[in-house]
A and B are shown apart, each in its own frame.
Chain A
């Protein structure tokens, strides 16, 4: 997978998370995975279709998602309800929009699906024929993994 696809997502995630969630964030070591990967519990997925196709997953555990949603709403949310889901969806939306703007500037044209949220235990994601690159991000609320699996068409 070309790094040109990944960097805009990492940069956008950093910018947006810093602005709306937590100024003290750190990036972990990125790694590649080619087989099925477990999903942490709450995952927002955005699909890409065009010159570049695939998906980006914003993956975190339920406590981290709740912490992020609480911070973004300025109040303590105690359960992962519709408002919390809408908040994580909006976060994924903002990060993806910024990344895609950068990719469009680099000359790639493609469309996006609106983010969808999956929640549950023991979930896995598999992508046939494309490796996933995972960028772990450490926030004070826990870990978020940006899991990007895209290829050129």
Chain B
């Protein structure tokens, strides 16, 4: 009698966080909210992304990006943060690496800052509250 292993798994799918070469996309999360950082991290790791670092303000995020360069494929960047806000950090990272892929995380009502970020070079944005489908869709649009 044939058993389970003898049949191909037709439902098998590659995790979204995997590159065509089989390695994982590497993400740096910059957000001052422990809750949002955890939320994004859980969504991404469940799809096979590697979270290579978390920073709680723009300055720390910029420094981490430089330290880890070129081993970061995507940055999620909160807009409102203490010490250095997300738009300034975006500007500094783009100045350092014009090909950096950065996606802004925004509360509702920050349209002006989102527009400014897109003009500076952010690839996309996500408005909170975050849900899994929205986060993955925007991140995949930016990364692939």
Report whether over half of chain B's contact residues are helix, strand or loop; otherwise say mixed.
Answer: loop
Inter-chain contacts of B80 with A (CB < 8 A): 114
Check: B34 CB closer than 8 A to any chain A CB. Answer: yes
Given A19-B129, A100-B109, residue A90 in contact with residue B38 (CB < 8 A): no
Q: How far is the CB of B114 from the nearest CB of chain A, in Å?
A: 12
Flag if A97 contacts B108 (CB, 8 Å): yes
Given A19-B129, A20-B129, A114-B80, residue A97 in contact with residue B107 (CB < 8 A): yes
Flag if B35 contacts A72 (CB, 8 Å): yes
Contact of B34 among A72, A83, A100 (CB under 8 A): A83
Flag if A93 contacts B38 (CB, 8 Å): no
Check: A82 CB closer than 8 A to any chain B CB. Answer: yes
Inter-chain contacts of B68 with A (CB < 8 A): none
Check: B23 CB closer than 8 A to any chain A CB. Answer: no
Closest chain B residue to A101 by CB distance?
Answer: B109
Check: A130 CB closer than 8 A to any chain B CB. Answer: no
Check: B128 CB closer than 8 A to any chain A CB. Answer: yes
Inter-chain contacts of B110 with A (CB < 8 A): 97
Check: B36 CB closer than 8 A to any chain A CB. Answer: yes
Contact residues of B with A, CB < 8 Å?
Answer: 33-36, 38, 42, 80, 107-110, 128-129
Contact of A87 among B35, B107, B109, B128 (CB under 8 A): B35
Report whether over half of chain A's contact residues are helix, strand or loop; otherwise say mixed.
Answer: helix
Inter-chain contacts of B36 with A (CB < 8 A): 86, 90
Given A73-B35, A73-B38, A83-B34, residue A94 in contact with residue B129 (CB < 8 A): yes
Given A100-B109, A101-B108, A104-B109, residue A94 in contact with residue B128 (CB < 8 A): yes
CB under 8 Å from chain B, chain A span 113-135: 114
- Which of A73, A93, A114 has most chain B Cβ within 10 Å? A93
Q: What is the bound-complex CA distance between A90 and B107, given in angstroms?
A: 10
Q: What is the bound-complex CA distance between A100 and B111, given in angstroms?
A: 12
Flag if A86 contacts B35 (CB, 8 Å): yes
29 contacts between A and B (CB under 8 A): A16-B129, A19-B129, A20-B129, A72-B35, A73-B38, A74-B42, A82-B34, A83-B34, A83-B38, A86-B33, A86-B35, A86-B36, A89-B33, A89-B35, A90-B35, A90-B36, A90-B128, A93-B33, A93-B128, A94-B108, A94-B128, A97-B107, A97-B109, A97-B110, A97-B128, A98-B108, A98-B109, A100-B109, A114-B80
